[in-house]
Amino acid sequence: MKIAILGKPFDEAAAPFIQTLLDELAARQTEILIVEAFHEFMKPRLRLPAGTTTFRRGDSLRGVQFVLSIGGDGTLLDTVTYVGAQQLPILGINTGRLGFLAPVNPDQIVQAVDALFKGHFTLEDRSLLRVDTDPDVFGQLNFGLNEFSILKRDSSSMIAVHTYINGEYLNSYWADGLVVSTPTGSTGYSLSCGGPVMLPQTNNFIIAPVCPHNLNVRPLIVSDQSVISFEIEGRATSYLLALDSRSVPIEASVQMAVRRESFNARLVKLNHVNFLSTLRNKLNWGLDRRNPTTMI
């Protein structure tokens, strides 16, 4: 088997678990590729298996069966940009904090590797959103798994985001900004803006204002077959666009539109993990003395 690994620097407490992962893969004669920056971080701290090679963004991952993302949800979002339209299966190993997208805890690494090799998993396609701007600001990385945000920058003044769906005027949001979220991103920034939680296979987007000045304005769910476009107005001359963990300053004259990307992110779902149990565990749902412990 051929496996690619991406990750972010980890603390000493996580090192033994990552070493276990490498040893398990080596014992199964796995061909291992590690993204170059992470390889440089790991080299003085861990025993890397013989024959380990490196890759960079843009390199072909031809022949890779799985991509392992070591870190938190932000690391997995970055991993999606390395995989792109290749749609390679991604398994998240959580050495971060909350870990909605990275379901494998460090002490579950051996079981997770065993599940990969035995085929005890399913693949779950997650929709991506795509951002088109004129002029182009995100380049080839104009897609994201969680959300697209328009935000005020370097000013206490609110902004107005005039929003259109398929060319028809929807609303002008007077707020600190606006978030367009996928179902996967519904547990992220959108959730903190009062947006609903959506099941991953829901074919919708969420439009959620950030700190709106109009209290009667609420998050809106629209079909992900829609094209959502925007015009920005405010006292400042520049604003901030954010796509998952990437952000760029722009001028108000930039035109932008959001639609569903033509390809998906493919996540590995181990058989003992499901979205509903993740909600209960990560958001502490069910922590009520009236509920039987067997249901929590």
Residue holding tokens 């829609």? 226
Phi, psi angles (nearest 5°) of residue 104: -90, 115
Q: Which of 88, 104, 106, 73 is nearest to 186 (CA)?
A: 73
Question: Could you tell me whether strands 31-35 and 2-7 are parallel, antiparallel, or unpaired per DSSP bridges?
Answer: parallel
Token pair in block for residue 228: 């959502």
CA 97 to chain centre: 14
- Say what the alpha-carbon torsion angle 167, 173, 178, 179 is, to the nearest 10 degrees: -60
Helix (H, G, I), strand (E, B) or coil at 278: helix
Is 73 among the catalytic positions? yes
Integer Cα distance of 232 and 238 in angstroms: 10
83: part of which helix (H) or strand (E)?
A: helix 73-83
Question: Could you tell me whether strands 238-243 and 66-71 are parallel, antiparallel, or unpaired per DSSP bridges?
Answer: unpaired
Active-site choice (73, 78, 176, 244)? 73
Evaluate whether 79 touches 3 at the Cβ level (below 8 Å). no
In 108-203, where does DSSP find H-type helix?
109-118, 189-192
- E-state strands within the chain: 2-7, 31-35, 53-55, 66-71, 90-94, 121-134, 143-144, 147-151, 159-165, 168-175, 177-181, 204-210, 220-223, 228-234, 238-243, 246-251, 255-270
Residues annotated as catalytic are 73
